[in-house]
Amino acid sequence: MTEAVLNSGVGKSKLWKPPIVGIVTFVLMLFAIALGHTLMVLIENWLGHETTYVASIFIGAAAIVLLWQGVKSKNESLQTWIGFFAGLMIWMTWVEFFYMFYGRSNWGMVPRMDGPDGLSVSGTFPEYMIMGATVGVLMLMLCFYTFDKDTRCNMFLWFQKKLRMQEGLGPSTKKAQDRNYAIITFMETIFVTWFCYAWNLLCFDPGLVGSGDLFFAVNMASVFVAFVWSGYCFSRLLKFKRTSTALRYAIPVGNIFWVSVEVGTKWNLFTEIWVHPWDYKIEMSVVFGAFLVLALLLVLAPKKPSELGKSRTN
């Protein structure tokens, strides 16, 4: 790639330079997480539980068809957007709604109860109890990616470096042109969401951390880790120039930060307006409008040739 190509696209824009790209993608990701919750609530209310279970099969199938379109595309920017939305759709339907079906309808599970009289719903509904039990599978899959010599994920590369695994794994067998960002973003969206869900569920589980001082300490430690980890990643995100790369990196940054949001709602520090859209129509309409504006800005932002499939060497 020539120097002219390297300096084209984003470099010509006075607006789309660090830290603007990082800030926009981070805020967009927070809105996307909130709206994901809202969409699930709306689907349940519109269709009803039983119809939702059936519809989720076909919504998930549509997400796979969408993903296939991204896989065939040579446009990195389009691949990233499709992978992200397909990942959200699959998580919502083939994971959360499927767990909901098995937990509530098929197995007849009841929510975990707590409170002084033992009759209050703690918020741990059957689908989340099932999800908490998948931690072992999640760890196995994370081991797979840790041993993957072709990974480009910063976290797994850090593990490989610190554990001195790189020499044993050998050099990567893939080049940049071999990477399909639709699949990469799709799997990243699912695994990051899964990891952060498991993180929260373990911290909220009274069977593991009780409900007294240990519960408080674990949750405060969780907030601290989420702030430090997401803060460090956010500082790196602020240096990004390419919108496609920034969007992919914002997925873990936003989700890790959201762990602290979930803790805050657990402690009733603020209201989860995103799961009560009927009660907060104006607020959620503003959030949805802001998400659309930010997404449109990112789509229309100047891009390097490598993001458009014209050249890819990184």
Q: Which pLDDT score is estimated for 306?
A: 74
Q: Which pLDDT score is estimated for 114?
A: 67
Q: Is residue 94 scored above 70 in pLDDT?
A: yes
Q: Which pLDDT score is estimated for 29?
A: 98
Banded pLDDT at 17 (limits 50, 70, 90): confident
For residues 125 and 111, is the Cβ–Cβ distance under 8 A? yes
Q: Which pLDDT score is estimated for 7?
A: 41
| Beta strands at 113-114 and 120-121: parallel, antiparallel or unpaired | antiparallel
Q: Which pLDDT score is estimated for 115?
A: 54
Apex 156 CA angle, 152 and 158, nearest 5: 100
Q: Which pLDDT score is estimated for 13?
A: 57
The reply to whether 92 falls in a domain is: yes
The reply to whether 2 falls in a domain is: no
Phi then psi dihedrals of residue 141, to 5 deg: -70, -35
Total residues belonging to the chain: 314
What integer best gives the mean pLDDT of the chain?
88
Q: Which residue has the tokens 């039983």?
A: 50
- How many domains, the chain? 1
Sequential DSSP letters for 249-261: HHHHHHHHHHHHH
Q: Residue range 135-145: average pLDDT?
A: 93
- Separation CA 41–CA 211 (nearest Å): 28
Closest C-alpha to 256, from 236, 274, 233, 287: 233
The reply to whether 230 falls in a domain is: yes
- Separation CA 59–CA 232 (nearest Å): 36
The reply to whether 192 falls in a domain is: yes
For residue 248, the one-letter residue type is R
Which sign does the torsion angle of CA 155, 161, 166, 171 carry?
Answer: positive
Q: Which tens digits make up the pLDDT trace of 168-198?
A: 988 887 776 678 999 999 999 999 999 999 9
Predicted TM-score (pTM) of this structure? 0.89
- Separation CA 301–CA 9 (nearest Å): 9
For residue 165, the one-letter residue type is M
The reply to whether 270 falls in a domain is: yes
Q: Which pLDDT score is estimated for 243?
A: 93
Q: Which tens digits make up the pLDDT trace of 229-255?
A: 999 999 999 999 999 999 999 999 999
Q: Is residue 6 scored above 60 in pLDDT?
A: no
- Separation CA 21–CA 240 (nearest Å): 7
The reply to whether 181 falls in a domain is: no
| Owning domain of residue 246 | 22-109+123-153+188-302
The reply to whether 240 falls in a domain is: yes
For residues 237 and 249, is the Cβ–Cβ distance under 8 A? yes
For residues 99 and 197, is the Cβ–Cβ distance under 8 A? no
The least confident of 64-68, 138-142, 287-291, 303-307 is: 303-307
Q: How far is residue 180 CA from its own chain's centroid?
A: 18
- Separation CA 103–CA 100 (nearest Å): 5
Q: Residue range 71-85: average pLDDT?
A: 94
Q: Which tens digits make up the pLDDT trace of 102-124?
A: 999 999 988 876 655 544 555 67
Closest C-alpha to 247, from 287, 192, 298: 298
The reply to whether 85 falls in a domain is: yes
For residue 82, the one-letter residue type is I
